[in-house]
Amino acid sequence: MPQKVLIIRFSSIGDIVLTTPVIRCLKQQTDLEVHFLTKKSFAATLKGNPYIDKLWTIDKDINELSQTLLTEAYAWIIDLHGNLRTRELKTRLSLNALRHLRPRPKNRTFPKLNLQKILLTRFGINWMPDVHIVDRYLQTVRDLGVINDGKGLDYFISPEDEVNLEAEGLPEKYIAFVIGAAHATKRLTSPQMVEFCRNSKQPIVLLGGPAEAEVGKVIAGCLDHVHNACGRFKLGGSADLVRKAATVVTHDTGLMHVAAAFRKPIVSIWGNTVPDLGMYPYLPGQEALEKQRRQEVVGLSCRPCSKIGHQACPQGHFRCILNQDPEAIASLVGKI
């Protein structure tokens, strides 16, 4: 029987999509059986991934796995999350191996660079390496002889998640505009989004979850060429609409990375976060230059104020968003 490797990444959509080169390269370049552990709420992100032999999920607590996961004899544990829960799980798996007189699994943990992130977000000192997080993820498996195959990210759409554009009343050719983001300091205001859409000459399909449904309705209600798909589809359906889009305009959020997995032309909009944190769209080779444009307000001493975001500007002025020019964003779409 082949030896087994367990990859751990609990959340979230974008972070999990960014682990897919590790999954694929492990499966294709080694003889290991590949297992993946994540939170149940994000399992759909890996639905249909052919490089995963077994997908494990939890709601919140690793104790939900009871003894099932502990019975697995893992040769390697690749920890791409690096928190207290993963540390506890690795300890329990090691102790269980000793109890059954098996070799303990070898552990490799993704370096989160928390010190460098604190220096950047609190003091404006940029000691972050000029290395994308995907390549840092891949460094955890180099001892297994795994190298970057240069094929970028993966995302797989199940047949039941495919969207029939005609049946849904959506245009055949469109710009996908991902209007959501988990934090307010990462997304344009509603008037700015309306103004961007007004400056676009192409049909636009708005993407987001139930939380963005009402905002999407307001934006679409202002302009005839804008279609609101927010809240209408599950993750797989929204991902399929990204796949079918001519171009994707997106805030720094999970669907941005789904767009990169489908090699779409991407205009990414940055508020309080910055690409220097290493989580910009990961497009391989020349495509990284040809298929992406970034819109951000440079020169703000308060930016980045967080590695993830806030629900309100800590400084109160919100310049990283309010100084964004929707017309300039629309013009970038025509340049890729």
User: Which of 88, 115, 144 is at the close of a domain?
Assistant: 144
Range of the domain at 139: 4-144
Q: pLDDT band for 334, please (50, 70, 90 cuts).
A: confident
61 pLDDT more than 90: no
66 pLDDT more than 80: no
pLDDT given at position 34: 98
End-to-end CA distance of the chain: 48
Going along the chain, which residue ranges are E strands? 4-8, 33-39, 54-58, 74-79, 106-109, 175-178, 204-207, 226-228, 247-251, 266-270, 292-296
pLDDT given at position 231: 96
169 pLDDT more than 90: yes
Q: pLDDT band for 254, please (50, 70, 90 cuts).
A: very high
Residues 198 and 119 in one domain: no
Residues 196 and 286 in one domain: yes
The answer to the question of residue 60 being in a domain is yes
Residues 181 and 209 in one domain: yes
CATH number of the domain enclosing 281: 3.40.50.2000
The whole-number average pLDDT for the span 301-321 is: 93
The answer to the question of residue 173 being in a domain is yes
Q: pLDDT band for 70, please (50, 70, 90 cuts).
A: confident
67 pLDDT more than 80: no
